[in-house]
Structure 1
């Protein structure tokens, strides 16, 4: 469009030059040239504004399309990531050679508000630390349990049965109450109760 407008302007200019060469009518020809140039320039500027408006609109449309495309790509990437994580988790659980147990997880700390008078000493005569849990008496001290639910707390998910407790028991429906040691009473309160499946390692 711009090239066409330039050609039109040149044609008008040549026509004006021809009028200027006519001699006696030089003054009138000059006036006509001025008028023609104004019309040509006005038309060119008008078309340029239209072109600029079209470019701006096209950029806005392209920008929206790119934004939509980016959102769609991000959603697909997130979905693939979630499926991959779920697949890894399933594979890890399938590789666990242990007895699945339905469990109710609670938490305790060395704070007297969380437990009795034992402080940091466990029933196994060891010290409380991350990875220590209290389990019902039918689970031997020194046993290991895999708790997938707590991998964000302990990366490998493996916990040592080194403690007992008055409320640590097997419920009538077969659910094992498991107490997980945490560093503070506040964390124990925040932990709440979690219902999940754990694995008694063989």
Structure 2
């Protein structure tokens, strides 16, 4: 039996969170080791595991992988979340990179001064409602499927949901003008199996929302 992927990161969301989401959506169990002391971090550097001196680090398939984008690409390909051909893959990359831009705005905001933080949150909500969410709403409408690319779940869907939930933490009704994105958030976490699932009803609800627009 193959060993579970092992994730090394500080105790918090950060850059590891998207990796956790992707593994959870794929139904893959994983282990985590939180870096809580300088000694842990220095040992990983000394052992040569941190290629560029930084985490996240994922141990999987006999490899020690660093760099978030590379890790996500590998996991998406490994667990069939990266499209069926190059054309689908490049669209998945475009959509994932777009949501990442929005997510990074949110990630750095807490480290600013109170005044700058408030301004950043206002800008994030504005950008989400005028730049990012309208794009994905249109993609879903034009595509006519329950997913952003092709007819099955991909990394792009997973990262979009993560981005939406991050923005909703700032303003719960942010999706009020985006009916297809609203019904897109129909994930169900099943505690006993530790899996994310996409319900059939979600696809039907999205179709109904499209017909109403």
Which interval holds the TM-score relative to the shorter structure?
under 0.3
TM-score by length of 2: 0.19
TM-score, normalised with respect to structure 1: 0.20
Q: Radius of gyration: which is bigger?
A: 1
The structure in which a higher percent of residues are strand is 1
Larger helix proportion, structure 1 or 2? 2
Highest RCO, 1 vs 2 (Cα 8 Å, sep ≥ 6): 1
